[in-house]
């Protein structure tokens, strides 16, 4: 039986990926800060004996101990998925919001993927590391500077690890999922987002990309088209575009 860990599985896309893997027959370790939501999945009779969980806050130093406890409950892992993340519109550049974003999407992210890299390297075994970054990493948004920058960093970081894996002769497959707008708690419920996807649809496409071991997957095709066209926009033009503030 294949085994996976999903960090950030309490809600939204991470929860969907965890449920999809469970429906496919995987043994899954789930993590996040909201223990009640972790328990809800773990106690479901549908998945009896196939879910382990640990409360993990990726911003804390003891997060690694908790990940290791989770792995020892599963025995071993084939796949490590980091979905944990926060996102805020912050047009006033409130420093506490910018810091929170970097703590979770920056340091927390690094803590998780570095651990996974060293795990597979240490075990000298084949493995897969998947992350959920964002299309905001492909072009930055003025009202979400920290979010855009940390998402760009995540994609870059994974590329660096992929090169490092070749240098280390470690057989790790890397998958970078870049969703467009999906209806989850991370978005402002009072705001309209274009081409909004349901979390089930985005979660299905994310899981499929992971199982197909895609290197990069923009979700969905409409956002893939959008990011293609905006990649053609020169920076001097992009910087003059005005997006509506919250
Ligand atoms: N929805 C979109 O439109 C969209 C678009 C592009 C990218 N994404 C990315 O998708 C990922 C998942 O977000 P979502 O849309 O599914 O929103 P969500 O429902 O808010 O999910 C965020 C997940 O991250 C976890 N998390 C947040 N802070 C954490 C921390 N300090 N330690 C551990 N886990 C933490 C949350 O768990 P706890 O709160 O229980 O800790 C939750 O499980 C994020 O990385 C986000 O940037 C989303």
Per residue in 40-91, pLDDT (tens digit) is: 999 999 999 999 999 999 999 999 999 999 999 999 999 999 999 999 999 9
Atom of ligand 1 nearest to the CA of 15: 43
Quick one: how far is CA 183 from the chain centroid? 15
Residue nearest to atom 17 of ligand 1 (CA): 186
Over residues 146-170, the mean pLDDT reads 98
- What distance in angstroms lies between residue 83's CA and the mean position of ligand 1's atoms? 6
216-219 β-sheet, strand order: 51-55, 27-32, 3-7, 79-82, 127-132, 172-179, 216-219
Give the position, in ligand 1's atom list, of the atom nearest the Cα of 183.
Answer: 1
Q: What's the rounded mean pLDDT across residues 191-205? A: 95
Query: Which of these, 157, 107, 117, lies nearest to 137 by C-alpha position?
Result: 157
Reported as a single tens digit per residue, the pLDDT across 9-41 is 999 999 999 999 999 999 999 999 999 999 999
| Contact status, residue 50 vs residue 26, Cβ threshold 8 Å | yes
Which residue is closest in CA terms to ligand 1's atom 32?
A: 57
Q: What is the mean pLDDT of residues 177-186?
A: 96
CA proximity to 154, closest of 243, 87, 60, 213: 87
Is the pLDDT at 230 greater than 70, yes or no? yes
pLDDT > 60? residue 123:
yes
Residue 99, pLDDT > 50, answer: yes
| Ligand 1 center to 186 CA (angstroms) | 6
Per-residue pLDDT band for 244 (boundaries 50, 70, 90) equals low
Q: Is the pLDDT of residue 237 over 80?
A: yes
Task: Look at ligand 1, atom 36, and give the residue with the nearest C-alpha.
Answer: 8
Best mutation site among 6, 9, 13 for ligand 1 pocket (most ligand atoms within 8 Å of CB): 13
Query: Which residues approach ligand 1 with their CB closer than 6 A?
Result: 8-14, 32-34, 56-59, 83-87, 104, 108, 132, 134, 179, 181-182, 184-187
- pTM of this prediction exceeds 0.85: yes
Q: Which of 8, 70, 197, 204 to mutate to test the pocket of ligand 1 (most atoms within 8 A of CB)?
A: 8
Per-residue confidence (pLDDT) for residue 236, from 0 to 100? 94
Q: Residue 245's pLDDT band (boundaries 50, 70, 90)?
A: low
Provide the pLDDT for residue 144. Answer: 95
Say how far apart CA 246 and CA 242 lie, in whole Å. 12
Q: What's residue 242's pLDDT?
A: 81
Residue 192 has a pLDDT of: 86
Instruction: Determine the distance separating the centroid of ligand 1 and the alpha carbon of 4, expressed in angstroms.
Output: 18
- Across the chain, mean pLDDT equals 96
Neighbours of 59 (CB within 10 A): 17
Burial class (CB in 10 A: 0-12, 13-18, 19+), 131: buried
pLDDT of 215 over the 70 cut? yes
Instruction: Give the whole-angstrom CA distance, residue 127 versus residue 84.
Output: 20
Residue 191's pLDDT band, with cuts at 50, 70 and 90, is: confident
Distance of CA 211 to the CA centre of its chain: 15
Rounded to 5 degrees, φ, ψ at 211 are: -65, -30
Which atom of ligand 1 approaches the CA of 135 most closely?
A: 6
Nearest CA to ligand 1 atom 7: 134
Report the DSSP beta bridge partners of residue 182. Answer: 197
182: confidence class by pLDDT, cuts 50, 70, 90: very high
Domain-wise residue ranges, the chain: 3-238
Q: Give the mean model confidence (pLDDT) for residues 107-135.
A: 97
CATH 3.40.190.170 given to domain 3-238: no
- Predicted confidence at residue 246, as pLDDT, reads 45
């Amino acid at each position: 039986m294949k085994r996976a860990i999903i960090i950030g599985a309490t809600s939204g896309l991470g929860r969907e990926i965890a449920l999809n893997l469970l429906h496919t027959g995987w043994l899954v370790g789930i993590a996040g800060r909201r223990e009640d939501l972790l328990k809800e999945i773990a106690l479901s009779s549908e998945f009896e004996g196939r879910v382990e969980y640990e409360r993990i806050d990726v911003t804390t130093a003891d997060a690694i101990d908790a990940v290791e406890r989770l792995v020892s409950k599963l025995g071993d892992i084939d796949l490590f998925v980091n979905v944990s993340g926060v996102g805020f519109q912050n047009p006033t550049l409130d420093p506490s919001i910018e810091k929170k974003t970097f703590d979770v999407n920056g340091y927390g992210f690094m803590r998780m993927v570095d651990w996974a890299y060293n795990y597979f390297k240490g075990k000298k075994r084949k493995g897969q590391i998947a992350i959920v970054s964002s299309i905001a990493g492909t072009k930055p948004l003025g009202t979400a500077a920290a979010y855009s920058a940390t998402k760009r960093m995540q994609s870059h970081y994974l590329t660096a690890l992929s090169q490092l894996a070749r240098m280390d002769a470690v057989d790790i497959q890397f998958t970078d999922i870049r969703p467009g707008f999906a209806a989850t708690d991370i978005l402002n419920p009072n705001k309209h987002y274009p081409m909004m996807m349901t979390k089930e649809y985005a979660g299905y496409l994310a899981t499929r990309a992971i199982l197909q071991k895609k290197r990069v997957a923009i979700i969905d095709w409409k956002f893939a088209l959008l990011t293609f066209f905006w990649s053609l926009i020169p920076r001097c033009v992009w910087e003059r575009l005005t997006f509506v503030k919250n």
